[in-house]
Amino acid sequence: MLDYQTIRDRTLEICAGLETEDFVVQPHEFISPPKWHLGHATWFFETMCLQKFFQTTPYNPTFPFIFNSYYEALGEHVPQGRRGVLSRPTVREVQVYRQHVDRRMREAASIIKDRGKETQARWAETVELGLHHEQQHQELLFMDIKHILSHQRELPSLPGAPLEGKEAPTSNQKIDIRGGVHSIGCRDDEGFCYDNERARHEVYLRDYSICANLVTNREFHEFIDDGGYKRPEFWLADGWEWVKASQIRAPLYWTHDAKIYTLQGEVTISPNAPVCHVSYFEADAFARWKKCRLPSEAEWEVAFRGQPRQDLWQWTASAYLPYPGFQPFAEAAQEYNGKFMSGQMVLRGGCLATPGSHYRSTYRNFFYPSMRWMFSGIRLCAQ
């Protein structure tokens, strides 16, 4: 069981190296200011736990509009791309809000012990979801903070951030998997998982070979040197339009003179480190250039069940869709995942910013094909 205060404190630790001004910047609409993350995770506990079980009134009547993310059933909210225009509440006010809700949550945890077993169970489930939700935002904080700091001329580092760009094995070893019927998805007895990881079900796979290691910077540079970003034959139609419209020439954060921006500041690109911050479009184009393909999410899960995580999420060829028998979370939380099952692609594996308790082979991450500010890499399958 996750510890409430430990998770809450970890969020503040991630932000400890920021200046006050860093908390309010939103360079792109898909980035949320760190201040908003702090408030949103707190709003989740206030709304889903305190108001639901104790009918409390909001700490501040404007906060539900400001810190609600996308829960339409819970009322109107500021559009994501407009979060950065709000200078109020201040960073200090959001920190006080967190303290207030944490205090009320501790009081509620004591009171709930005198309620019936069914109420206690629902409370525990809701708090657990809230903690895993906050851990997701901890990973998002590293992603968003990196993007914010990358726009600063001095390219500052973030103290305490996970180390990026570590070299990895570079062999061409492949893992051969026998085809047949395999089960994927989370079992009911495996503890917490998100609703999109259920129901466990069977899939049929042909024999396949999947690379043991991720694609490296050296390999991706060969793709660039061979005109990879200039040759439409490797790209999906939408990907080619994206390359042209955005003038994409290299992975995100690659700078001049063979340098890359990391949360440790600007460093020289390590040839043997896995290539990072690539979109699905780039991953798919590289695979075509290499005369390979991306694995399906089922192929990935079967091959790496129980294996230690690597430092990057890995794109799969699978669209983000519901599993057979999918049932969303109950009540307001039913909007958590299911509403996004359109137009996005699945990533698997976890990354250097993923909390350890989140790593499991059934975890399904998902982003739009052009997105690449997350810690995303490439694993290939043989054709």
Give Cα 13 to chain centroid, integer Å: 19
pLDDT at residue 229 is higher than 80:
yes
Do 188 and 115 belong together in one domain? no
Do 136 and 197 belong together in one domain? no
Residue 361 lies in a domain: yes
pLDDT at residue 307 is higher than 90:
no
Residue 115 lies in a domain: yes
Dihedral of alpha carbons 200, 202, 204, 210, sign: positive
Do 141 and 215 belong together in one domain? no
Segments forming the whole domain that contains residue 347: 174-382
Average pLDDT, the chain: 96
The confidence score (pLDDT) of residue 1 equals 73
Do 270 and 180 belong together in one domain? yes
The confidence score (pLDDT) of residue 308 equals 75
Q: How confident is the model at residue 168 (pLDDT cuts 50, 70, 90)?
A: confident
The tokens of 177 are what?
């998997």
pLDDT at residue 159 is higher than 90:
yes
pLDDT at residue 98 is higher than 90:
yes
Do 222 and 113 belong together in one domain? no
Give Cα 261 to chain centroid, integer Å: 19
Residue 163 lies in a domain: no
Q: pLDDT digit string (tens) for 318-356?
A: 999 999 999 999 988 999 999 999 999 999 999 999 999
Do 136 and 187 belong together in one domain? no
Residue 164 lies in a domain: no
Do 77 and 178 belong together in one domain? no
The confidence score (pLDDT) of residue 99 equals 98
pLDDT at residue 190 is higher than 90:
no
The confidence score (pLDDT) of residue 264 equals 97
Residue 160 lies in a domain: no
pLDDT at residue 171 is higher than 80:
no
Do 187 and 128 belong together in one domain? no
Residue 308 lies in a domain: yes
Residue type, 107: E
Tell me, letter by letter, the H, E, C secondary structure of the chain.
CCCHHHHHHHHHHHHCCCCHHHHHCCCCCCCCCHHHHHHHHHHHHHHHHHHHHHCCCCCCCCHHHHHCCCCHHHCCCCCHHHHHHCCCCCHHHHHHHHHHHHHHHHHHHHHHHHCCHHHHHHHHHHHHHHHHHHHHHHHHHHHHHHHHHHCCCCCCCCCCCCCCCCCCCCCCCEEEECCEEEEECCCCCCCCCCHHHCCCEEEEECCEEEECCCCEHHHHHHHHHCCHHHCHHHCCHHHHHHHHHHCCCCCCCECCCCEEEECCEEEECCCCCECCCCCHHHHHHHHHHCCEECCCHHHHHHHHCCCCCCCCEEEEEEECCCCCCCCCCCHHHHHCCHHHCCCCEEEECCCCCCCHHHCCCCCCEEECCCCCCCCEECCCEEC
CA distance 274 to 315: 13
Nearest to 263 by CA among 142, 135, 139: 142
* For the chain, percent of residues with pLDDT exceeding 70: 100
Q: How confident is the model at residue 6 (pLDDT cuts 50, 70, 90)?
A: very high
The confidence score (pLDDT) of residue 169 equals 78
pLDDT at residue 257 is higher than 90:
no
Instruction: Write the CATH number for 130.
Output: 1.20.120
pLDDT at residue 252 is higher than 90:
yes
pLDDT at residue 383 is higher than 80:
no
Do 202 and 140 belong together in one domain? no
The confidence score (pLDDT) of residue 221 equals 96
Q: pLDDT digit string (tens) for 58-87?
A: 999 999 999 999 999 999 999 999 999 999
Q: Of 150, 183, 204, which closes a domain?
A: 150
Do 117 and 249 belong together in one domain? no
Residue 162 lies in a domain: no
Do 209 and 293 belong together in one domain? yes
Number of domains in the chain: 2
Higher pLDDT pick, 361 / 256? 361
Do 296 and 335 belong together in one domain? yes
The confidence score (pLDDT) of residue 158 equals 98
Residue 112 lies in a domain: yes
pLDDT at residue 20 is higher than 80:
yes
